[in-house]
């Protein structure tokens, strides 16, 4: 096998898979948070991720719908300016996508809360199309380049195994976000309210929990994670495009199902696994087969283990008993 003949290449692909999987895990958390609270598969979530990448690119390029607001931040800018630009892009994307998630919930999902699930599902698909067309009008149909602000140089001296500054950047941003989300859900008053609403909405309302606000907070958190992952995706891959939310959303949805949709730990585990599977498929099978491989994983999980790997434990428990 090729992997046995070149173990360094195999390890490099494994690291790339873990890095990509970290981005997918952040998106998957948005799917699983919403499903855990209101049992809705929010198909607009992937397109919210796309909007996040566009917001980040707008901040870094200093141009909004062709209007120049300030000088763009490029690879020739100083390190401090680059760090400030990336930080501002992340914060702007998280704010916009979080508010967008809340707005979608209030406008599209809340009026249908007691309607049949099919109606809500169709609405989610409709919102996905609307956001895609917003992206199409905003940046056009072609791929849009991101400024090359994060070095692609190898961190390891050996040179055989590749672990770049870009990979370190993604992991360094993802891990604190995951820890912050875990702390929020497990230890804060609002996080406990989310767990209570996920377990029983009517009982939660009877003890004084504002169910509507809790659901809005859930969409806010999911949107913020989508915004952060959108900027990271653009900086990591160097491009974005109006329909990137479909592909990445599919990967993230598969990750959420693989881990056990509704389970926070499962979303992270599923994201890492899907990232590794995609990286290995790219290297050893062929890029054109990767989406088919991910579809195959989704079908196999639905057929043989619909609850996913960790699906026995609900999001209410945050992955713990």
Tens digits of residue pLDDT in 138-180? 988 999 999 888 888 888 876 678 888 899 999 999 999 989 9
How many whole angstroms separate alpha carbon 131 and alpha carbon 223? Answer: 13
Q: Is residue 254 within 8 Å of residue 294, measured between CB atoms?
A: yes
Q: Is residue 4 within 8 Å of residue 286, measured between CB atoms?
A: no
How many whole angstroms separate alpha carbon 274 and alpha carbon 298? Answer: 10
Torsion angle of the four alpha carbons 222, 228, 234, 236, in this order, in degrees rounded to the nearest 10: -110
What is the residue whose two structure tokens read 């109606």? 119
Burial of residue 40 (CB within 10 Å: 0-12, 13-18, 19+) is buried
The predicted pLDDT at position 320 comes to 40
How many whole angstroms separate alpha carbon 301 and alpha carbon 304? Answer: 5
Residue 263 lies in a domain: no
Residue 170 lies in a domain: yes
The predicted pLDDT at position 17 comes to 92
Confidence of residue 3 (pLDDT cuts 50, 70, 90): low
Residue 107 lies in a domain: yes
Residue 14 lies in a domain: no
Residue 297 above 80 pLDDT?
A: yes
Q: What is the mean pLDDT of the chain?
A: 87
Residue 299 lies in a domain: no
The predicted pLDDT at position 65 comes to 67
The predicted pLDDT at position 319 comes to 43
Q: Domain of residue 138: give its range.
A: 29-242
Backbone angles phi, psi at 149, to 5 degrees: -95, -25
The predicted pLDDT at position 269 comes to 92
Residue 268 lies in a domain: no
Triad 55, 247, 249: Cα angle to 5°: 70
Residue 260 lies in a domain: no
Residue 321 above 60 pLDDT?
A: no
Q: Is residue 247 within 8 Å of residue 291, measured between CB atoms?
A: yes
Instruction: Specify the number of domains making up the chain.
Output: 1
How many whole angstroms separate alpha carbon 311 and alpha carbon 277? Answer: 20
What is the residue whose two structure tokens read 């719908």? 65
Cα 107 to Cα 113, 124, 281: the distances in Å are 11, 11, 40
């Amino acid at each position: 096998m090729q992997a046995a003949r070149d173990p360094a290449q195999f390890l490099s692909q494994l690291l790339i898979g873990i890095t990509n999987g970290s981005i997918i895990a952040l998106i998957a958390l948005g799917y699983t948070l919403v499903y855990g609270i209101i049992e809705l598969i929010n198909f607009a979530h992937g397109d919210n991720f796309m909007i996040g990448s566009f917001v980040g690119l707008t901040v870094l390029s200093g141009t909004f719908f062709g209007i120049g607001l300030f000088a763009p931040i490029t690879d020739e800018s100083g390190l401090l300016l680059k760090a400030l630009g990336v930080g501002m892009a992340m914060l702007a994307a998280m704010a916009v996508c979080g508010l967008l998630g809340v707005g979608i919930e209030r406008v599209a999902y809340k009026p249908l809360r007691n309607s049949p699930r099919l109606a809500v599902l169709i609405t989610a698909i409709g919102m996905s199309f609307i956001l895609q067309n917003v992206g199409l009008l905003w940046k056009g149909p072609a791929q849009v380049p991101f400024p090359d602000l994060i070095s692609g140089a190898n961190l390891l001296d050996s040179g055989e195994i590749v672990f770049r500054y870009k990979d370190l950047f993604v992991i360094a941003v993802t891990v604190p976000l995951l820890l912050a989300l875990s702390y929020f859900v497990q230890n804060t008053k609002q996080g406990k309210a989310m767990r209570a609403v996920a377990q029983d909405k009517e009982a939660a309302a009877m003890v004084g929990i504002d169910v509507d606000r809790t659901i809005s907070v859930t969409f806010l958190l999911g949107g913020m994670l989508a915004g952060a992952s959108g900027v990271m995706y653009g900086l990591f891959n160097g491009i974005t495009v109006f329909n990137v939310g479909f592909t990445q959303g599919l990967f993230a949805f598969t990750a959420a199902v693989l881990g056990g949709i509704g389970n926070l730990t499962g979303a992270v585990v599923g994201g890492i696994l899907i990232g590794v599977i995609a990286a290995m498929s790219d290297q050893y099978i062929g890029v054109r087969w990767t989406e088919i491989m991910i579809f195959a994983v989704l079908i196999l999980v639905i057929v043989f283990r619909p609850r996913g790997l960790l699906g026995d434990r609900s999001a209410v428990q945050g992955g713990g008993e």
